[in-house]
Amino acid sequence: MSITKLHCSLDGEGPPVVLLHGLFGSGNNLGALARSLRERFAVYSLDLPNHGRSDWLPDADLPQLTRAVADWMSRHELSGARLVGHSLGGKVAMQLALSQPRLVAALVVADIAPVVYPARHDAVFAALEAVAAAHCTSRQQAAALLSEYLPEPDVVQFLLMSLQRDARGVYDWRFNLAGIRRDYRAVRDAPRADAPYRGPVQFIKGGESDYIRPEHREAILALFPQATIKVMPDCGHWLHAQRPQLFNGIVGRFLDAVS
C-alpha cells in the first residue's frame, strides 16, 4: 500500500497538538494559533491530502482523509495527541477521534458539526475554475476574477493564499481543484462511528455562523458526550481569523486543562 505524504510544519516543544485546516486551505491557515501554543506544545500544522504541499489522492472522502492523517500520526508516533480542526479539518478530527480514539487525547472542533451539510460552495468553485481557465499572469488579475463571483473580500484573500506561479509565470491553484470538486459530496457527509468518543471535546461556534445550529446539539452529544460548546460573538465561520486573540485563548485554555 502506498504512503500518502503529508506536508507538515512543526513549531515548539511539549505535548503534541495537530492542527487541521478547512476546505481549500493549508496548514498555515492556523498559523496564529500555532504561534500562540508553541511555548508549551509541539504544534504540527498539516496540509490535508489534496491541499497545500501534500499528496493528491484518487479518492478523498472523509474516511480516506482521516486514514491519511491517522497513518501519518502513527508513523510519527503521535499517539495521544490533541487535535484542533476547523471546518473540513474539524470533520477529519472528529472522524479520527471516533475511529481511532487511542490517537486522540482531546479534541477542539471549530465551527462544524458531525452532520451532513448541503452544498454551499457553488460560487467558490465557479470562481476557482474561472481563475484556472484564465491563465492569470498576476495576482491582481486573479483577485479581480474571484471578486466577480465572491463579494466577501476576506474569502477572496483566503483563496489567494493558495495561488502558485509556474515556470511560465502563470498562476494556478496549489490544491487539487478537480479532486476537491469530485469528492465534494463525500466530504459533506457526517462522520461514521461504531461508538462515541468519550474524551474531552470543545466545540467553538462563530456567533454569526450557521454551521453549528441548535438542532445539531443532539448529534454532537450523541457522538461526543463530554463535549462543551462555546460561542464566539461578532464573527462568522472564519472565527480563527476574525477574532484570533479570543479564539487562541479558548483553545489554549482548553488544551492546558487536558491532563
Enzyme catalytic residues: 87, 237
Cα 134 to Cα 162: distance, rounded to the nearest angstrom = 16
Three cell numbers written together for 245: 486573540
Three cell numbers written together for 172: 494556478
Closest CA to 124 of 164, 177, 182: 177
Closest CA to 46 of 75, 19, 81: 19
Cα 51 to Cα 43: distance, rounded to the nearest angstrom = 19
Counting every residue, how long is the chain? 259
Query: Cell 450523541 appears where?
Result: 222
Instruction: Centre a 10 Å sphere on the Cβ of residue 75 and count the other Cβ atoms it contains.
Output: 10
Cα 217 to Cα 229: distance, rounded to the nearest angstrom = 9
For residue 14, the one-letter residue type is G
Tell me which H or E stretch contains 86: strand 81-86
163 Cβ neighbours under 8 A, 6+ residues apart: 131, 139, 142, 171, 172, 173, 174
Closest CA to 106 of 198, 8, 217: 198
Cα 80 to Cα 240: distance, rounded to the nearest angstrom = 24
